[in-house]
Structure 1
Amino acid sequence: MSLISERQDFSTLADVFLLHGSMQSPAFLDGRLCAGLALRDLSAEAWLGEICISLGVEQPRDEASAERLLGWRRQTLDALSSSELNFEPLLPDEMFSLAERAQGLKEWTLGFLEVVEDAGEEPRKAWSSALREAVEDLAGLAAMETDIDDSSENENDLFALTEHARMAAMLLYTEQHPGRPQVEEVDENPGPVH
């Protein structure tokens, strides 16, 4: 089975980052990926280039790493363009503390907003008021306090905030790609990585 068909999760991608000598969280880049797919139709080659720059490497270390990183893009694009609305931001799961999960959401939001800001005002002119409000609300998430205790109340709050980020990403993608579920049927294959 190809790695690219396996579900990429936070821990798996964090391991790929570690393999490349990076301690950074994949959450920030996932936020950038989601906004990039919505606003720029981020190609596989461009995505791989962006990750390599972020990791401080010229290219992925090996074919398996390249497949995982490209699989991440494919999985995200499939979820954002699906009519099932099953997109989930790539965030730390229940194996992590609530504080680590909150930090992951904050980093995801910062990455997402960075790409939205870089796109400038032009794309915003066509946005619905619901999307404008959802993106403006994300600014509050980017400033949230992440040093929180593990409690059911905090867990419920974090779930609600994560759901808001998830809906904002899907709304951005849907509005930028009207009437285009399953935007791409086949993944661009950039060829072997040497």
Structure 2
Amino acid sequence: MCGLITDFSMSLINERLDFSTVADLFLLHGSMQSPAFLDGRLCAALALHDISVESWLQEVCLTLGVEQPRDEQAAERFLAWRRQTLDALAAVELDFEPLWPDELFTLGERAQGLKEWALGFLEVVSDAGDTPRDAWSSALREALTDLEEVAAMDTDIDDSPENENDLFALAEHARMAAMLLYTEQHPGMPQVEKADDPTHH
């Protein structure tokens, strides 16, 4: 597996991976799973204690039930997923966007993706134990409590403007919880200097 870890080509560095792209990559590996749960785990792991490229590839392969990515390009895309998430969490623009189903999916499918993401995120937070929690702000604790409600929500919803507005609000709560966890675990981040550095990928 380690032999598949190479420098990213410029096309992969500049490519924005979204939910459908990663879901298609999962399908190429014979998995019908949604990437949302694993993305939630990735976001929490990067926020709490980072996750090395080797460990990330191992977790992806374990999730997909394969020994290693099918080829070098697949491995690079999985690593680009990690780098894209880390860069977005640390970015001064605060434009972090989790891998959730977009407007091409039904509202129920989007709600299910959000729920799965929250479950993955909270799983890693729970595994971290009580030690990190001692330094967390009341705002972060409240955000994680809200996220627990997202993880328990009913996703059998109709496509209606009211439900869409509600889902958008819940998604924003989840997005802010991830950014809040990252910033509290990384004092002084985001850093404008790093964000403006053209050599930082």
Task: Give the structure-2-normalised TM-score.
Answer: 0.90
Paired residue secondary structure (1:2): helix
Q: Tell whether 2:35 aligns with 1:10.
A: no
Q: Which of residues 171, 179, 197 is equivalent to 1:170?
A: 179
Q: Tell whether 2:80 aligns with 1:71.
A: yes
- Give 1:43 deviation, angstroms: 1.3
Q: Is the 8 A contact 1:4 1:67 kept in 2?
A: no
Q: Tell whether 2:160 aligns with 1:140.
A: no
Q: Tell whether 2:130 aligns with 1:121.
A: yes
- Code of the residue aligned with 2:105 in structure 1: it is F
- Give 1:130 deviation, angstroms: 0.3
Distance 1:5 1:27 in 2: 22
- Code of the residue aligned with 1:14 in structure 2: it is A
Distance 1:100 1:42 in 2: 28
The sequence identity of aligned pairs, in percent, is: 76
Distance 2:61 2:13 in 1: 18
Instruction: Tell me the number of residue pairs that the alignment of Structure 1 and Structure 2 aligns.
Output: 187
Paired residue secondary structure (2:57): helix
Q: Is the 8 A contact 1:4 1:70 kept in 2?
A: no
1:43 is matched with: 52
Q: Deviations along 1:25-65, whole A, 9 cap, x unmatched?
A: 00000100000001111111111111111101111101111
Distance 1:97 1:130 in 2: 32
- Give 1:186 deviation, angstroms: 5.0
Distance 2:84 2:12 in 1: 12
Task: Give the structure-1-normalised TM-score.
Answer: 0.93
Q: Deviations along 1:47-98, whole A, 9 cap, x unmatched?
A: 1111111101111101111111111111100100011100011100000000
2:4 is matched with: none
Paired residue secondary structure (2:59): helix
Distance 1:145 1:21 in 2: 28
Gapped regions of structure 2 (runs ≥ 5): 1-9
1:83 is matched with: 92
- Give 1:119 deviation, angstroms: 0.3
